[in-house]
Amino acid sequence: MNKLRKFIIGALLTIALIGIGTKVANKKEEYKQPTKEVSLDNPQEQLDKAYQISKPSNITEIIYDPEFNETDRYIRGKMRNYFPEEDILKAIQNARKVSPGHNMGVQGIFRYMGDGEKRPVFARKELLTSPNVMTIEDIASATDHEDVHAGEERYGLDFYDHRKKGEEFLTLLKSGKIRTEMMLAIGELGAHAYQLNKIQRGERKTSRQLKEHVERWFVYLKGMVETEKAQGILQPVEQEFYEAKRKRYDSVFKKL
């Protein structure tokens, strides 16, 4: 990410935070202030409970992996027969880098995108210590979010009426028709929208903290994509991916 881009994103985030703050204050929604129910005692037990509540379609299990040992093992197992050691080490390092702000994660490997298989999710210590994750239901909501990522890894990127699998994604990437960063941002926007849709419909009763946290990220990501769209920087395939998310989560886009 270059400096200008970082600055633009930073500025957008500030605007988004201010915007949401006012909106929420005006509404004066009645949310119970839950006491922190999630803790570092028996992490795996809490993750299993959240999994049972969320009932994700595309996740095999949530694995507590504070030191990345399980993630490393997973990457190595998947890449071993196809990639040189150098690439495997790079992927292992990247797995640590790409997840700031993500306390749970699905490990994406292009080669496997669209293979039809469910994915494991790896959870970090910060998930349990985060001030935005108060209850088991909050972890279930984060699981809803990861279920979208796992679904896109399983079936390919969701373009509403079709899916784009790993090979097509790589071809588009190499030809410069999509940018990894923007595709990731739009994928995130979709995962946040799905998560919010469940909260807004009352299917997931999260803490106020988590709801506001997810709303802030949604508004921020949407603002980022909309800005590029307005500036004419957004590539046609990226715009198509964005429109697919708008169509699928129409009511969330209308509310925020």
Residues that bind Zn ion (CB under 5 A): 188, 191
Strand partners, 123: 64, 104
Task: Quote the least distance from Cβ 84 to Zn ion, whole Å.
Answer: 29
Which amino acid, 37?
E
Task: Quote the least distance from Cβ 180 to Zn ion, whole Å.
Answer: 15
* CB-nearer residue toward Zn ion: 18 or 184: 184
* CB-nearer residue toward Zn ion: 158 or 188: 188
Task: Quote the least distance from Cβ 191 to Zn ion, whole Å.
Answer: 4
* CB-nearer residue toward Zn ion: 108 or 166: 108
Q: Is residue 52 classed exposed, middle or buried when 0-12, 13-18 and 19+ CB atoms within 10 A define those classes?
A: exposed
Of 213, 205, 196, which Cα lies nearest the Cα of 21?
Answer: 213
d(CA 13, CA 26): 20
62 — phi, psi (to 5°)? -105, 125
Burial state string for 115-144 with b = 16 or more CB within 10 A and e = fewer than 16: eeeebbbbbbeebbebebbbbbbbbbbbbb
Task: Quote the least distance from Cβ 146 to Zn ion, whole Å.
Answer: 7
* CB-nearer residue toward Zn ion: 47 or 191: 191
Task: Quote the least distance from Cβ 145 to Zn ion, whole Å.
Answer: 6
Residue 185, token pair as written in the block = 């941002």
Query: Are 141 and 210 in contact, with CB atoms under 8 Å apart?
Result: yes
* CB-nearer residue toward Zn ion: 72 or 153: 153
